[in-house]
Chains A and B, each alone.
Chain A
Amino acid sequence: MSDSPIRPGSDEEWQELLRQLRHQPQAQPQAFFYTRVHARLSARQAASRAGLPGWVRRPAYAALLGALLLAVSGDGTALHAAPATAAAGQVPSALAR
Chain B
Amino acid sequence: MAYSLPLLATFAEPPAPSGGAADAELVARLQQGDEAAFRTLVARFQGRVYSTAYSLLRSAEEAEDVAQEVFVEVYQTIGRFRAEAALSTWLYRLATSRALQHRRRQQARKRFAFFTSLLGFTNEVLPEPPDHSHPQALLEGAQQLQLLQLHISRLPAQQQVAFTLRHEQELSYAEIAAVLGTSVAAVESLLFRARHTLRQHLQPASHHV
Q: Which residues of B contact A1 (CB under 8 A)?
A: 143, 145
CB neighbors of B among A34-50 (8 A): 34, 36-37, 40-41, 44
**Distance in Å: Cβ of B16 to nearest Cβ of chain A:** 23
B203 and chain A: residue at smallest CB distance: A9
Stretch at the interface among B50-58, B109-117, B153-161, B177-185: B50-58
Contact of B68 among A8, A9, A40 (CB under 8 A): A40
Contact of A33 among B67, B72, B76 (CB under 8 A): B67
**Chain B interface helix/strand/loop/mixed:** helix
B53 and chain A: residue at smallest CB distance: A27
**Distance in Å: Cβ of A76 to nearest Cβ of chain B:** 30
Counting contact residues on chain A (CB < 8 A from B), the size range is: 20 to 34
Provide a sorted-by-A list of 28 A–B residue pairs whose CB atoms are within 8 angstroms: A1-B143, A6-B145, A7-B205, A7-B206, A8-B203, A8-B206, A14-B195, A17-B144, A17-B202, A20-B145, A21-B145, A21-B149, A21-B168, A22-B168, A22-B170, A26-B47, A27-B50, A29-B46, A29-B50, A29-B67, A33-B68, A37-B42, A37-B68, A37-B72, A40-B68, A40-B72, A41-B71, A44-B72
